[in-house]
């Protein structure tokens, strides 16, 4: 069962063209949707989750027409939004039970077993009697996953889940997600490149409503092997270098600037070959799209 997205377009009332003819085929497994803020990720996620309408296009999950048959689609859907409100005075166990009733788990025994298993799965069983108001950000996110997993969904949508989590919570949360992707489509939307690099077997990069790249992270990284170079440069030289080289990214390291450059062959004196990473793929694809950021990647090479 895969998710087929065809020619989705959406323009908001204020004229923002948030999705421009987006088509993707997403197989079972972890799929990363990567893009900067405002790229259109949430618009796409909310559309797939049947929470808003596109202007054009179609979405099929297996044989379910998601946009036309929303009721059926919702039965196979689990959605973890960027932020969700919880009832702070309820315990994790009680609130999950409540959501289970809403999801149609009416048999008391089955419901209890399901809730119990989910609390174990997201590692909240020990704290199931505690009030959600006292939970950390990571615990809330894991509770959100338990809610999203009710009813054994075929499509799990997770929108920007690791923003605001501390490193230990993040690792724990990503491990939890990676266990889900075997039978279902798990769609992870994020602006954090490492989340995708660590977890996803396939991915797409989106910016300004357009898919810029679709593929396998490992393969895309390998394709850059031998073409990524690094150099430590004094501050004053950076600007000149950016005019003559395809600078992908710069990073401050102990007061000096480390520059990463894309080039088919040794780009000049003082450069050394660097191990390519998904961040290089990302910056290379984003280059030339006029993204405003402190360091603007430039791909044109002056003659």
Ligand X SMILES: Nc1ncnc2c1ncn2[C@@H]1O[C@H](COP(=O)(O)OP(=O)(O)OP(=O)(O)O)[C@@H](O)[C@H]1O
- Give the residue from 80, 52, 86, 84 showing the smallest Cα distance to 66: 52
Compute the least distance from the CB of residue 193 to ligand X, in Å: 14
Nearer to ligand X, 17 or 128 (CB): 17
Compute the least distance from the CB of residue 153 to ligand X, in Å: 21
**Three-state SS for 53?**
coil
Q: Helix 92-102 crosses helix 108-121 at what angle (to 10 degrees)?
A: 130
Per-residue mark of binding to ligand X, 163-202 (x: CB under 6 A): ----------------------------x-----------
d(CA 18, CA 20): 7
- The answer to whether residues 43 and 17 touch, using CB atoms and an 8 Å cutoff, is no
**Out of 29, 32, 35, 78, the residue judged to bind ligand X by CB under 6 A:** 35
Binding to ligand X (CB under 6 A) within 43-72 occurs at 43
Compute the least distance from the CB of residue 74 to ligand X, in Å: 21
- The answer to whether residues 286 and 296 touch, using CB atoms and an 8 Å cutoff, is no
83 binds ligand X (CB under 6 A): no
37 binds ligand X (CB under 6 A): yes
Mode of pairing for the β-strands spanning 202-207 and 29-34: parallel
Q: What is the DSSP letter of 91?
A: B
**Out of 24, 26, 29, 40, the residue judged to bind ligand X by CB under 6 A:** 40
- Give the residue from 221, 284, 209, 220 showing the smallest Cα distance to 23: 209
Nearer to ligand X, 191 or 245 (CB): 191
Residue nearest to ligand X (CB): 42
User: Residue 233 phi/psi, 5° resolution?
Assistant: -125, 150
Compute the least distance from the CB of residue 189 to ligand X, in Å: 7
292 binds ligand X (CB under 6 A): no
Burial class, 296, CB count within 10 angstroms (exposed 0-12 / middle 13-18 / buried 19+): middle
33 binds ligand X (CB under 6 A): no
Strand residue runs (E) in 234-277 = 246-253, 256-262, 272-273
Burial class, 6, CB count within 10 angstroms (exposed 0-12 / middle 13-18 / buried 19+): middle
**Out of 2, 9, 38, 128, the residue judged to bind ligand X by CB under 6 A:** 38
If binding means CB under 6 A, how many residues of this protein chain bind ligand X? 14
Compute the least distance from the CB of residue 93 to ligand X, in Å: 31
**Out of 18, 145, 158, 261, the residue judged to bind ligand X by CB under 6 A:** 18
The interface region with ligand X, picked from 31-39, 146-154, 169-177, 235-243 by CB under 6 A, is 31-39
Bridge partners, residue 221, by sequence = none
Nearer to ligand X, 12 or 87 (CB): 12
- The answer to whether residues 95 and 86 touch, using CB atoms and an 8 Å cutoff, is yes
Applying CB under 6 A, the residues found at the interface with ligand X are: 12, 14, 16, 18, 35, 37-43, 160, 191
């Amino acid at each position: 069962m895969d998710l087929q997205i065809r020619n989705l377009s959406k323009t908001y009332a204020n004229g923002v063209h948030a999705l421009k003819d987006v088509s993707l085929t997403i197989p079972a497994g972890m799929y990363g949707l990567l893009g900067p803020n405002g790229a259109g990720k949430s618009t796409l996620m909310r559309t797939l989750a049947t929470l808003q309408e596109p202007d054009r296009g179609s979405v099929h999950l297996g044989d379910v027409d998601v946009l036309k048959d929303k009721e059926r689609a919702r039965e196979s859907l689990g959605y973890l939004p960027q932020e969700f409100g919880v009832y702070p005075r309820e315990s994790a166990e009680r609130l999950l039970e409540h959501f289970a009733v809403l999801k149609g788990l009416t048999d008391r025994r089955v419901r209890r077993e399901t809730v119990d298993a989910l609390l174990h799965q997201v590692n909240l069983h020990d704290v199931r009697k505690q009030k959600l108001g006292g939970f950390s950000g990571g615990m809330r996110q894991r509770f959100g996953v338990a809610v999203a997993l009710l009813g054994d969904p075929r499509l799990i949508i997770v929108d920007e889940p690791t923003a605001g989590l501390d490193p230990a919570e993040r690792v724990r949360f990503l491990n939890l997600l990676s266990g889900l992707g075997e039978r279902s489509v798990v769609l992870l939307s994020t602006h954090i490149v490492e989340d995708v690099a660590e977890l996803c077997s396939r991915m797409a990069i989106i910016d300004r409503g357009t898919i810029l790249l679709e593929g396998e992270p490992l393969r895309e990284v390998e394709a850059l092997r031998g073409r990524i170079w690094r150099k430590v440069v004094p501050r004053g030289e950076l600007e000149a270098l950016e005019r003559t080289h395809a600078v992908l990214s710069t990073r401050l390291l102990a007061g000096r600037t480390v520059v990463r450059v894309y080039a088919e062959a040794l780009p000049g004196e003082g450069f050394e070959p660097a191990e390519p990473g998904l961040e290089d793929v990302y910056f290379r694809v984003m280059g030339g799209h006029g993204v405003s950021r402190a360091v603007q990647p430039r791909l044109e090479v002056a003659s």
